Every structure is written in C-alpha cells, then in structure tokens.
Amino acid sequence: MAKQKLTEDTPFLRTPDMYQIENDAPITEYSDKLLDLIADTPHGGIPDGANAFCSVGKEKRGTVQMQLFAVIDPQTQTFGNVGFRSHGCLAAIGCAAALAEMLPGKTFEQALSITKDEIRERLGGVPSSKLYTLMLATCAVKAVIGDYLMRVQDAQDELDKLFTCESLSVDCLMTENCSLRDERVDAYMHACGEI
C-alpha cells in the first residue's frame, strides 16, 4: 500500500509523545524525509532503564519543548536507547526524533560533535522560519549529557571539561528553558549556601 501524500489539509500530530501546538509553516514546506521520520519513529516516550533526562525549549513565539530520555552506560559513557517527547512545531518534533536515532552507540564526545547541519541533513531540511529548532537540538544533547554527569555521576568537573555553558551566547539566549542551566544554577546556589 502506497503512503498517502501529506498536504496542507493533513491534520496536526497529536500523540502522547508528540504534540504539534505551535502555529506552524504549511506542511508542504516540510520535506518528505522529516514527515516520514515523525510518522514512523519508534522512539517516542521514555525507554526502559532511562537514567538521563533533559528539557529545552522556548516560549517567545509559542511553546516549543524537546525532552530527551536516555539510557547511558556508566562504564563507557555511551548512549544506549534514546526516547523523546516534543511539543511545538513539526521541525521541533523532527529534531527530537532525529536525535533519538542519531545518539545510540555514541560516546559523549561523539554526541557533542553532532552539528546542526547533520541534523538538518537527516531531516531533509527544515523551513527557514524553523531553523532555531536545530539549535535547540544541539542544546538538548548538551543538556542530557549534563544531566547525567551532574545528577547521576555527581561529576561537575568532568562536565566542565567536556563543555561550558557560555552566558549570553546565542544558544543560551534562544533556549529560554534549559534543564541543564537550571541544574547548574541550583548547584551554584547550593554551593554558595543560598539554598
């Protein structure tokens, strides 16, 4: 049976793990590759044994949120199964689905080297008005690794060696909601005796 071609009249996605709520570009602006990835992804939700989590997003033009859930091997610091939940536009859902496919088997260093261009290529492109979702996706990779190192391993020093969060960087300014930033602020406040 041939797949039905998606058109502007195709209904929005509404599943427990993917929820299109942002005013979006016409569906015809999305590549078949991106739409097929979303339609056929087996990675929605939380995989069994997940020990790392992150949430990144923005709210300026509508709520966009990407959440990643990962099983990370503590011996090798390698990604196992990765699942996701995403709310917002099709590009955000596609980016999260792409990461859930791209991260398994990668070490932290390999995961951090995933570029916006690689994610865009995996999706067959995104509309120009949705390019910020690629940046959110690379921030999500940092945030899920940061969550594991800070919360599970209590290894702030190791996290700082892998990467630092740059205050007022474009990524930080665009990512209004970041679970890693929240964890780092909490750790700083706790170290200062403020909490």
Q: Across all residues in the chain, what is the average pLDDT?
A: 84
The residue-averaged pLDDT of 55-60 equals 82
Query: Terminus-to-terminus CA distance in the chain, angstroms?
Result: 60
CB atoms within 10 A of CB 114: 18
pLDDT over 90 (residue 137): yes
The residue-averaged pLDDT of 15-40 equals 75
pLDDT tier at 100 (50, 70, 90 boundaries)?
very high
DSSP notation for 27-60? GGGS-HHHHHHHHH-S-BSPPTT--EEEEEEE-B
Per residue in 59-90, pLDDT (tens digit) is: 765 678 899 999 999 999 999 999 999 888 88
Given this model, what pLDDT does residue 181 score?
A: 84
Looking up tokens 């998606």 gives: 6
CB atoms within 10 A of CB 110: 13
pLDDT over 50 (residue 6): no
Contacts for 42 with CB less than 8 Å, ≥ 6 apart: none
Domain topology for 18-191: Sufe protein. Chain: A (3.90.1010)
**Planar angle of CA 153, 159, 162, nearest 5 degrees:** 135
Least confident range of 56-65, 106-115, 142-151: 56-65
- For residues 150 and 99, what is the distance between their CA atoms, to the nearest angstrom? 21
Per residue in 16-26, pLDDT (tens digit) is: 556 555 556 67
Chain-centre distance for alpha carbon 22:
17
Per residue in 117-135, pLDDT (tens digit) is: 999 999 999 999 899 999 9
- For residues 25 and 128, what is the distance between their CA atoms, to the nearest angstrom? 9
Q: Which residues pair with 144 in a beta bridge?
A: none
Per residue in 155-176, pLDDT (tens digit) is: 888 988 888 877 767 777 777 7
- For residues 3 and 34, what is the distance between their CA atoms, to the nearest angstrom? 14
